[in-house]
Amino acid sequence: MNKNTVKYQRAVQAYLNELRFTGHSENTIANYSRRLNYFLSFWETTDPQGDPGKDDVRAWRDSLLDNGVKPATAKQYMIELSAFFEYAVEDEVYEDNPVTKRLMPKVKEQGKQYTKILDCEGIAALFENTGSGHYWPRNYAIITLLLDGKVRNAELRDIKLKDIDFQFSELTIQKGKGNKTRVVSLSDISVSAIKLYLASGIRPAECTADDYLFGSCYGGKGWHKCSGAWLSALVERHVKKVTGLPGFRSHSMRHNGTVFDLNNGIPMERLQAELGHSSVTTTELYAGKLGSKRHQAGFKMAVSSRDYWAEKNKAQLAQGA
């Protein structure tokens, strides 16, 4: 076993721990573990000299089919492998997900959808600041920033207060994918949500601009960076509570924010820059295609809701929230 397969095993263990943390049954976790190890067993035989690549995935797929595995079953295995790599990319273990759509075995039935798309009503509901509870301002700010700013799980956890320019409504991502720096424009809804969160007192008063925007004092460590599993669980609970949609992952918020912006007239080139994609082709995959006029009208309704709640948030701040 070389260092590359050890790296894969550790990433798998972290992924299984996240599934456990987010409430998946032990039976489900065992099934995921077994199927992810199918790939490892095959990959080990090739004496890997680097991270898993598309050629490794293609060879594994062909091996499954050659050994009599049905195309639908092989596709399901690859969907689960893709979900794992999406998590590992979010956690910056790997640079890219080697499981692409083109590598999937062709079958008639549709595979399980990994990225869930919210309807216009669901997006509008997430912009509404109507919740209660001590941690609502924090959770609302996180969800709004993920949706409006389209940031990744790891990027959001790395944000420090100094990275936000409130005057020009901009967020600088200092350690994006590939350690690239980029600037993201924020709508009034994000700026107001962050300000309400800061006014709530959840973030300790002794924290400075150099400290993480979102963090935790759990375990007596002082204010520190939270884990990817913690953020994933928070997003899943919040989205289910507000929209009723279960199993929603933090990375899906990025996809939804991109679809939302595309249907509201944001140019593809601007979306590419804000998402930090090196190729506009990747952005096109994220955003999909423009919806029908009826579909776009629904998104405009969500924009109206977003702008309405931004003004409500501002009024709350002006009242000394």
| Domain ranges (residues) in the chain | 3-103, 120-318
More confident residue, 314 or 300: 314
Confidence check: pLDDT of 112 > 50: no
- Quote the pLDDT of residue 176: 59
- Nearest CA to 227 out of 219, 238, 216, 242 is that of 216
Determine whether domain 120-318 maps to CATH 3.40.50.720: no
Residue 293 has a pLDDT of 73
Q: Mean pLDDT for the chain? A: 88
Taking residues 66-88, what's their average pLDDT? 87
Residues 282 and 161 sit within 8 Å (Cβ to Cβ): no
pLDDT above 50 (res 182): yes
State if pTM tops 0.85. no
Q: Is the domain 3-103 a CATH 3.60.40.10 member?
A: no
Do residues 299 and 179 touch, judged by C-beta distance below 8 A? no
For tokens 């702008």, name the residue.
Answer: 307
